[in-house]
Structure 1
Amino acid sequence: MHNEPTFEQSVGQHLVTGLQGVSLDGQFIDLVRNHKIGNVILFSRNIVDKHQLKALCAEIHDLIVQETGVPPLITIDEEGGMVSRLGPDATHLPGAMAIGATADQGNAYTIGRISATELRALGIQCNLAPSLDVNSNRLNPVIGVRAYSDNPETVASFGTAMVRGLTDGNVLSVVKHFPGHGDTDVDSHTGLPLIEKSKEELLACELVPFKAAIEAGVPAIMTSHILFPGIE
Structure 2
Amino acid sequence: MTPKKEDYLKIIFELGGKQRKVSNKQIALSLDVAAGSVTEMVIKLVKEGLVTHVPYAGISLTAAGIELAEKLVRRHRLWETFLVSKLNYKLADVHDDAEVLEHATSDNLVKHLDDFLEHPKECPHGGMIPSIDGEYEEESYDLLIDAETGSTKEVDRFVDNHELLTYLEEINLKIGDKFTVEEHVPFEGPIKVKMLDTGKELSISYNSAHYIFVN
User: So what's the TM-score if we normalise by structure 2?
Assistant: 0.27
User: So what's the TM-score if we normalise by structure 1?
Assistant: 0.25
Indicate the structure (1 or 2) with the bigger Cα radius of gyration. 1
